[in-house]
Amino acid sequence: MWLNDPWVACLGVVAAVFTGSVIGFNLHRLLPPHHLSKETHDVIRLGAGMLSVLASLVLGLLIATVRTSYDNTATALRVYAADLTVLDETLREYGDRALEPRRRLRDYTTRLLDDVWRHPYPHPFLVENRGASERLEHVWDAIRNLPAATRDEQLLAGEAQQIAVSLLRQRWLLIERAGSSVHPVVIVILVLWIAAIFVSFGINAPRHATMYAVFLVLSFAIGSAIFLVMEMDAPFEGLLRISSQPVETALGHMLPAGA
């Protein structure tokens, strides 16, 4: 669907809104004079004002919703990266016998960076990638197989298992957060409202080239707002993709490659 691509959606919104203003210009020329009385213009202005309030409320709600979702996802990713670091530190305390799960943990973290940030295409997130999930499960299996001869080793192994289970859970929560939080129907209805508002503007506006330029600029402004909504609604894709810095920092604290 065209709404899955923020750039295409932005251009579609610009076209729909600007077309509304052009329709308004033509309606003013085609309608008979008695349909364009002062009373008619007053009613159109009242209706456009009501739609403007509704559109402003819905657009504000959309922006607030996607911003909250974006911030929550960014926070969840930082927690996830912190748990990766804590798990590696816990295994480091275990000693040399934990080298295997630490190697697997590093492999998984490297794969996470590749799947989401370095080489995200054709799939921008790891939900479609069973291999990433299996690597994390292998880390958990390696931790469960650690020999725990002393009391300290038992405590460290138990803590590491809890963190690994938490990572498995958090991974699926991040995958769920990667999905859209805005229904496309809401955006379609909002754009139709805004297009209707611009129809009313076109009916009441003077007919010259400057007005066409003004309406085109306003159309791009509305389109850019929808673009921002859709970009923030896809936190692991596009120009506003969440930073990979937390995961890169976690990887930097792990067992060196080849160790």
Cβ-based neighbours of 40, under 8 Å, separated by 6 or more: none
Check residue 71 and give its pLDDT: 94
pLDDT at residue 66 is higher than 80? yes
Check residue 89 and give its pLDDT: 94
pLDDT at residue 169 is higher than 80? yes
Residue 177 Cα distances to 88, 110, 235, angstroms? 25, 21, 8
Q: What is the DSSP string of the chain?
A: -GGGSHHHHHHHHHHHHHHHHHHHHHHHHHS-GGGG-HHHHHHHHHHHHHHHHHHHHHHHHHHHHHHHHHHHHHHHHHHHHHHHHHHHHHHHHH-GGGHHHHHHHHHHHHHHHIIIIIS--S-SSGGG-HHHHHHHHHHHHHHHT----SHHHHHHHHHHHHHHHHHHHHHHHHHHHTS-SS-HHHHHHHHHHHHHHHHHHHHHS--SHHHHHHHHHHHHHHHHHHHHHHHHTSTTSSTTPPPSHHHHHHHHTSPPTT-
The predicted model gives 174-189 an average pLDDT of 84
| Residue 116 confidence class, pLDDT cut points 50, 70, 90 | confident
Q: Are 110 and 251 in contact (CB under 8 A)?
A: yes
pLDDT digits (tens, 9 = 90+) for 123-137: 555 444 677 778 888
Cβ-based neighbours of 156, under 8 Å, separated by 6 or more: 90, 91, 93, 94, 148
CA distance 32 to 50: 26
Residue 11 Cα distances to 112, 167, 224, angstroms? 33, 40, 9
Q: What is the pTM of this model?
A: 0.84
Check residue 214 and give its pLDDT: 93
Tokens of 136: 């994390």
The predicted model gives 80-85 an average pLDDT of 95
**Other C-beta atoms lying within 10 Å of the C-beta of residue 230:** 27
